[in-house]
């Protein structure tokens, strides 16, 4: 299924990660910083391509930190249109596929000994995608 995502016209498969030992509020702040960096990267790539995009995320949107990061982008120059759209993966096959893609990236980075059969899923299923990138 991850290969089907990257084969969809206008889509790119990618993943980012960051190690942290932070907990509680510090973890929440770190996660927000990672999302902000990802958002800036996507916005920049869209701008370089002369394109616009929308972020679709699994969830309900109750965590407002994602919306706050979108609102920090300069409205006149941003290439990401709108705040993120939240869709419950239980009701959307494309979002389920994105969840699988994220889990695949997690296994590449985590390299859990009991899941060694998954360590090459990313490169096998998404040969044209860059490997998960540390930010």
The pLDDT tens digits for 71-85 are 999 988 999 999 999
Rounded Cα–Cα distance for residues 95 and 12 (Å): 14
Per-residue pLDDT at 56: 94
Number of independent structural domains in the chain:
1
Does residue 82 lie within any of the structural domains? Answer: yes
Does residue 52 lie within any of the structural domains? Answer: yes
Of 12, 71, 6, nearest in space to 45 by CA: 12
Confidence of residue 3 (pLDDT cuts 50, 70, 90): low
Of 42, 48, 114, 49, nearest in space to 81 by CA: 42
Does residue 14 lie within any of the structural domains? Answer: no
Confidence of residue 2 (pLDDT cuts 50, 70, 90): low
How large is the C-alpha radius of gyration of the chain? 15
Per-residue pLDDT at 9: 79
Of 119, 125, 54, 56, nearest in space to 87 by CA: 56
Q: In terms of residue numbers, what domain contains 98? A: 2-9+21-129
Does residue 134 lie within any of the structural domains? Answer: no
For 60-112, the pLDDT digits (tens) are 999 999 999 999 999 889 999 999 999 999 999 989 988 999 999 999 999 99
Does residue 40 lie within any of the structural domains? Answer: yes
| CB distance 38 to 135 below 8 Å | yes
DSSP classification of residue 59:
S
Does residue 48 lie within any of the structural domains? Answer: yes
Q: In the predicted model, what is the mean pLDDT of the chain?
A: 91
Of 4, 24, 30, nearest in space to 101 by CA: 4
Say which residues have a Cβ less than 8 Å from residue 76's Cβ, sequence separation at least 6.
none
Does residue 135 lie within any of the structural domains? Answer: no
């Amino acid at each position: 299924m991850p290969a089907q995502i990257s084969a969809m016209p206008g889509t790119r498969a990618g993943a980012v990660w960051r190690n942290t030992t932070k907990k509680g509020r510090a973890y929440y702040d770190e996660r927000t910083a990672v999302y902000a960096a990802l958002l800036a990267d996507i916005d920049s790539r869209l701008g370089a391509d002369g394109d616009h995009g929308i972020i679709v995320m699994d969830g309900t949107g109750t965590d407002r930190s994602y919306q706050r990061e979108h609102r920090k982008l300069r409205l006149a120059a941003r290439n990401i249109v709108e705040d993120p759209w939240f869709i419950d993966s239980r009701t959307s096959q494309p979002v389920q596929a994105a969840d699988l893609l994220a889990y695949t990236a997690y296994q590449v980075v985590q390299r859990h000994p009991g899941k060694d059969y998954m360590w090459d899923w990313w490169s096998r299923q998404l040969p044209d995608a860059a490997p998960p990138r540390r930010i």
